[in-house]
Amino acid sequence: MQIIMAMALLAAGITDGVVLKPVANMYSRPSEEADVVSQAIYASPIGILQERDGWARVRTPDDYTGWMPDSAFKRLAHDERTYASAGPVARVISLSANLYREPNVTTHQPLLTVPFETNLEVTQAVDPAERWLRIRLPDDRAAWVQRGDITLDRQPMSKEEIIALSRQFLGVPYLWGGTSSLGFDCSGFTQMLYRRRGIVMPRDASVQAKWPGAAPADRNHLEAGDLLFFGDSKVTHTGMYIGDGKFINATTHDRPVVQISNLADPYWTKLFIAARRLK
């Protein structure tokens, strides 16, 4: 799915860079004193919309914009193809994966640690029996990743697989603006889950609640995979229903982590606004 989104950016003529930080913050204005509005993970393509004093206003493949310091990304040459847009591509399926300078975990410290969903270019013939894969990083360095941390399967997951996947993130910290396995906010978490189904959903909870790709669902007849929306007078929170009256969400309620909550809990009952189901 990231490859498809990257190609869409390229077709629009705005794939100008690739993220070099494991997780790069996107700010509301060109200052680290500003609030974080979202994030882009390692090797993600970005479009550069505006530049100012060592900063760039960028657009991510989900059409979200924010300011990012120049040090967080690499500009692509006019004739340089988008990273991980061709050939074998490995996607990280562990919560994080260490990338090494050689196929050995003891000789040197990792070159870097990247989060779940990171796409990496494979530069060797793939042998299922081999423990290691050689990869090319966006800055052209060679590196190695362990097979257990990645998949070469690009097929979207089923609804049942997404429900199972969501539980792997239990305990991941809540982080405002977070979109990675190093820290999610509520809508960053649901957006990621739907992305793994091959569905590009808007970034923010209030926009997700109006997204035309989903239709209203009856609270008394919920199905696993439905999106739930909460707030006081307007939508400020979202989670995904997993069945038996429970939903999974990234929240600061009780503990600031990804957790399973009960829809019958008075706290959530009071805040419930709507449920929506994929069309």
- The pLDDT, as a whole number, for residue 14 is 55
Q: Is the pLDDT confidence value at 4 over 70? A: no
Q: Is the pLDDT confidence value at 113 over 90? A: yes
- pLDDT band at residue 140, thresholds of 50, 70 and 90? very high
The CATH homologous superfamily for domain 2-75 is: SH3 Domains (2.30.30.40)
**Domain regions of the chain by residue span:** 2-75, 89-151, 159-278
Q: Is the pLDDT confidence value at 10 over 50? A: no
What CATH fold (topology level) applies to the domain 89-151?
SH3 type barrels. (2.30.30)
pLDDT digits (tens, 9 = 90+) for 51-61: 999 999 999 99
- pLDDT band at residue 128, thresholds of 50, 70 and 90? confident
Burial of 127 (0-12, 13-18, 19+ CB in 10 A): exposed
| Residue among 263, 252, 273 at smallest CA distance from 184 | 252
Return the CATH architecture of domain 159-278: Alpha-Beta Complex (3.90)
pLDDT digits (tens, 9 = 90+) for 195-233: 999 999 999 999 999 999 999 999 999 999 999 999 998
pTM of the model: 0.92
Q: Is the pLDDT confidence value at 186 over 80? A: yes
pLDDT digits (tens, 9 = 90+) for 12-49: 445 799 999 999 999 999 999 999 999 999 999 999 99
Mean pLDDT confidence for 84-102? 95
- Assess whether the region 2-75 and the region 89-151 belong to the same CATH fold: yes
